[in-house]
Structure 1
């Protein structure tokens, strides 16, 4: 089967990936046609004759569809019977006939009826076959979620009933769908599952197709040599098989590989035209359409835009193309890029928007990435810089979602540092384990020696009892000392074992902390960096065409995003230091009123900008034991949050109360409030997210996490009470100075 090409030209990734044929294998006969012919000719039962005719029709689906339809029409009265298995088989046969007659709507109607009836009556084999066809019909219509559901259903049923034939076909078909979604590793896994079944069944014909699919999968995974080896395996096996001729698809895919991976356009065109010469002139199959698009892509790579456009236009003349949103989207996006190069921006924009709409409908991420990139260039060339930035950010968002390995690579250096620390801790624990084991062995030797000595003493004791009561008491005391020493040694062993348990728990906690840390990094750093990349790319590509106000606004946005990203990194590193015990509580006696007053002075300008009032209701001369830097950071974080989430003109109050040995400080705001389901885990790093304030102010998402760490470090606790739309009250405790 043929695949469409991926082109990179002038920093534009024109991605048109694999186009799968809608059916790999013909219906496998599950019955003997001679036996069916005997039943049709000799049975006196009308119902048996109708049932046999419906099954016998399978023999003619490819070669004599009219004869097959006549047989099925003669079998139609079976629908009036109560033989649900026969009715299910009839619906399945009608679906298969319409499938091979290229009537997808009618095929869907009959296969879905077969699926429903067989599902309710547990006709598993009919159900698995019908579900597989329904899945592929949904794929043709661009309904990818439904396609995956029905194909996975087929695999599940086949695993239960041990039907390798239908499982093989379903694995192959679902691999095609995952390739369309850009999930190439999952696609590869299903191709390999299909290949395993085929090798066990020694099915060389189907292996030809699967080798071809594996070549496509490895190409998409950037393993070009492995890809070429599977294409060549498919060609060699194809040459030995009289039942199948896949030279067109194999040549097309080799051309694609040379163009996209080896960057050899001449070799690519050689294989494309070799495939074209093997096709009949009146061929209107999907393979020919794919081949036309790939030839157009090759000429685009040569900058021969007119010739490329001619091939794209020829591919759009076929009804199959216009009825296939997957193909149509790819060609429209290609044509949009051609018109951009020809400076026909209106036509390029219309084609790009329609191509993007179809790509979003069929959930083709590579298509969407390329469409957003093309529209970014169009908007930039037309001076629509806000729209250009939106398309660029949408492109990076899709890349982050589909190619998440790139995100992991961005923090790989931090992971190496962290893993090194983790290994050091583990090595230390292993060393202590080894030392303890040596001590245990040594103690065991002492115990054995003690037992031997005890036995010797006991023998001596027997004789000594006869001689002297005084000597007996001395020996008893010695035995008691030996036993006490053994007990003490056992206690030491127990203590060491407990220490090992605690160290293992600490290692587990370290690992959980690492997971949380990198989860926040990969989640919260992605957005700011995407915005920075967008503005910087726009400045880099369109600097001369931007006005001075536009440049200043973009620089302000870059400065604002950079500052927020820096604050997030500082908070993350502070949090990490608390987890490793590098931040300590240097407690001193502090006046809570003065701490509150100085914190208000720092944030007053921000509050004035939103016409907000800050009220210090903390009485003077209330002294607490706290670290000045830590409590100041806590107050500033909580006050900044209150200002950020309170509306213009709001009032923010700071009050307190004392009870027993603690003071409880309350910070009241009139903000937007917090949903109840978020309040319980508000201070956990796993729930730290970037949230905008009432006037779109940005935060780091880590403030409340640090606040809790600092409060707990000073011996206090923190909580929140809030109601949506009515504001929030953040409360924390600190030890009072009792002097």
Structure 2
């Protein structure tokens, strides 16, 4: 449809419309050309709008009927027939409001606002243009939003509210520049010219009027061309440049006659009369003044004004009556809803009471069921843990204890000084001693752990002791085991740190952490015991430069279900119970164990003791 916009002759447009066979499509085409020609050829535009109205009414094309009524209202407004424009605007507004056709309802507001503007009722015009803006903003119709902003700025200017006019025109100009719409920009430039002319800046005003003409010619908007040209003529006349003014005014007059715009034509005749007089062309001035008087003071215009005022009053009265009727309906509806609400409230109370009683019964049943389920779940978890404990004990007894005992049983008969040389005898003796020592620690841990699982952690008799001295007990006990791998254990715990707790519990944890470090530290390695004091805690750490662990391995420590054991650096075997014991004894004393480790760089196990017991 847009591709035909460049041809405005009746024959070419009729040819396009007559090719269309669909009724609704034909009505849409007629409306399109009526809208397109509204500010170019009002006679032809009226013809197409009337055809669109006839077809849409007969075929019940509600959307196209609303558009046709709007087009007729706008065309009548352009011609200066304000009474007819207001009548069609009122019909369009009622129809589009009833049909819920928001785009055309917004257009009805715009047309009615324009009529009020022409009657210098700028307050009402601004009110309706703002409704137009609100609707088109909701519809995301950017072109119509830009147009509404232009119209609001123009009305504020006409009402001499210059600050508001400047504000809205700047918004409109920025908005339309982003849209890059020549028609809307032409309108914004004309408004800007009006503001500059009002402030006595005639050169700037004429510059913007010229920009208006340039943009209006691009979109063939005769209405914007003629209004910009007569404004330049008026402006030049104010500076007594009558000859130049007459050129612009005569061009504007020709466009006004071509368009059939009576209001603008009348105004131009008046301006031409003054310009001719100023230029000494008194005869031309007389003729122009005569034509102005004939148009302006005609009986048609007088009747139109009185009839328009009557129609406006009728419209406002109908609107108020409609509002009163609506209020009555709303009041009746509220009373009806009130009665229904009372009945519903009573029903709701009765239903709620029944529901609450049912809930209480169900709750009591569910409570018994929940308690039973929780007990079963607890017993299941305890059974699973017991079975896991059993499996762990059997694993230790069948593998970790049976293997070294079997090895001892096989080797001991061979330990004969008469059949072995001295060096072999001592070497075998050292290895057997190491196995027995490891077996001792395994048995010791097994007994400690089994007792704690069956009877709980015993002791917990608090005594005050020096942390360094207490750790030295474990260091000395394990020194011989460490020397077999030439591992150096260094105790660097601060000798001035005291702590109150069960010292045996502290020994068990330290001993197992050192045993673990010895197991995973290579020959000639180093194990260090350190201390660190913070505001609220004491950290006792056991660090080694052994094989280290991945983060995944660290996450699996201290838990019976996920715990694991790996051979030491000399293939030492173990139960993996040492760290589980550490975790249990630490928890019994409200201590924490923190692990930092990295593969190939060793590990650091820290016991975090609350300082309040220091």
With structure 2 as the length reference, what TM-score do the two structures score? 0.46
Instruction: Determine which structure has greater relative contact order: mean sequence separation of CA pairs < 8 Å that are 6+ residues apart, divided by chain length.
Output: 1
